[in-house]
């Protein structure tokens, strides 16, 4: 069995595979995952797979292959797992999910924004956000909460975006509250929030632009943002079937499925 784990900042994603077939997708809240289903043993994290409701993965001598990626891998290694860089995992996952060899990848996760240029299936250049996570999923969650709407509702809004200018994601909340007081409709405010994400990632995308943009990560579920990217950049935007599991799928590909 192959097990790919993407240790994200908001969710831990686990993809299981056998032979060359993916057999399961599982998602856990990151804090819950570490608190309830992991314990530290000799500087390694031991994962309670049974507790997670998964088959008992036995890496190494047990014959299973465990590959991990994600923000968490730099802090603690999972026992029996091989860890690979996020960008590699996402590139592998996106190429496998789309069947494409030449494309620009945009991955927007809980805190990450990554843009990767793939040529002939290989990473040839990349850019990521560094010191600030304002253009990421966590920002969208906060703003949806301020507006009192779900992420799905937020992702449906793109017409007449209200101009939002705060550089800081937290100050952005008070800016949004100010606009609510001024009487802007929620849909237009939500469109403004989506447009803010676009403005954040635009400089990175322009550096590594190509005719096809594969959009992954939890934020790729935001339909309005996908449409915005397509219209503003005049590119074909491809959202694979499992955008949020892309990194974990890439781990399984690396593992050998």
Partner 1 sequence: MDNRVGITTTVPIEVVYAAGVTPVDLNNVFITADNPQDMVEEAELAGYPRNICAWIKGIYTTVVRNSDIRRVIAVTQGDCSNTHALMETLHLEGVDIIPFAYPFDRDRDMLKLQIEKLMQAFGVGWDEVNKTKKTFDKVRAIIRQIDELTWQENRVRGFDNHLWQVSCSDFNGDPGKFAAEAAAFLDRARNAPAIGIPVRLGYIGVPPIMTDLYDYLESKGARVVFNETQRQFSMPFDTDNIVEQYSLYTYPYDIFRRLEDIAREKERRGLHGIIHYAQSFCYRQIQDLIIRRQLKVPVLTIEGDRPLYLDARTKMRIDAFIEMLK
Kindly list the residues in this chain that would bind partner 1 in the complex (CB under 8 A). Answer: 71, 74-75, 84-88, 122-126, 128, 130-131
Residue 57 or 94 with smaller CB distance to partner 1: 94
Partners of 2 in the β-ladder: 17, 65
> Contact, 229 vs 130, CB < 8 A?
no
Choice between 157 and 248, CB closer to partner 1? 248
Q: Which is nearer to partner 1, 35 or 119 (CB)?
A: 119
Q: How far is the CB of 14 from partner 1 (least distance, A)?
A: 20
Residue 105 or 237 having the CB closest to partner 1: 105
Residue bearing tokens 């449409």: 227
CB of 103 to partner 1, least distance (A): 16
Task: Please state, in angstroms and rounded to a whole number, the distance separating the CA atoms of residues 127 and 63.
Answer: 36
**Min dist. Cβ of residue 133 to partner 1 (A):** 9
Q: How far is the CB of 72 from partner 1 (least distance, A)?
A: 9
Residue closer to partner 1, measured from CB, 11 or 88: 88
CA–CA separation, 250 and 257 (whole Å) = 10
- Return the number of the residue (94 or 191) whose C-beta is nearest partner 1: 94
Task: Give the contacts of 220 (CB within 8 A, at least 6 positions apart).
Answer: 106, 108, 226, 239, 243, 244
- Quick check: helix, strand or coil at residue 70? coil
Q: How far is the CB of 2 from partner 1 (least distance, A)?
A: 20
Which residue, 145 or 206, has its beta carbon nearer to partner 1?
206
d(CA 102, CA 210): 9
- In the complex, the smallest distance separating the C-beta of residue 86 from partner 1, rounded to whole angstroms, is 6
- Rounded-to-integer distance, Cα 240 and Cα 90, Å: 12
Nearest approach, Cβ of residue 90 and partner 1 (Å):
10
* Orientation angle between helical segments 246-255 and 86-98, nearest 10 degrees: 90
Tokens 């992702």 locate to: 155
User: Cα(91)–Cα(245) distance, rounded to whole angstroms?
Assistant: 12
Contact status, residue 250 vs residue 13, Cβ threshold 8 Å = no
């Amino acid at each position: 069995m192959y097990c790919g784990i993407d240790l994200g900042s908001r969710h831990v994603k686990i993809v299981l595979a056998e032979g060359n077939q993916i057999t399961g997708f599982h998602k856990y809240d990151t804090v819950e995952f570490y608190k309830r289903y992991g314990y530290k043993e000799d500087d390694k994290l031991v994962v309670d797979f049974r507790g997670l409701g998964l088959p008992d993965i036995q890496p190494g001598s047990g014959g299973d292959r465990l590959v991990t990626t994600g923000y968490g891998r730099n802090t603690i290694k999972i026992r029996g797992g091989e860890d690979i860089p996020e960008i590699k995992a996402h590139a592998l996952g996106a190429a496998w999910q789309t069947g494409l060899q030449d494309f620009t990848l945009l991955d927007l996760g809980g805190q990450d924004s990554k843009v990767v240029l793939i040529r002939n299936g290989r990473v040839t250049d990349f850019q990521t956000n560094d010191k600030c996570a304002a253009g990421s999923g966590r920002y969208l969650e906060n703003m949806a909460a301020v507006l009192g709407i779900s992420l799905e509702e937020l992702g449906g809004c793109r017409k007449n975006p209200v101009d939002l200018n705060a550089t800081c994601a937290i100050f952005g909340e008070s800016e949004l509250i100010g606009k609510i007081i001024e009487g802007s409709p929620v849909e237009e405010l939500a469109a403004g929030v989506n447009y803010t994400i676009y403005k954040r990632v635009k400089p990175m995308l322009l550096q590594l632009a190509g005719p096809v943009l594969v959009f992954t990560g939890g934020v790729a579920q935001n339909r309005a943002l996908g449409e915005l990217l397509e219209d503003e950049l005049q590119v074909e935007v491809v959202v694979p079937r499992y955008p949020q599991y892309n990194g974990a799928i890439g781990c399984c590909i690396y593992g050998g499925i």
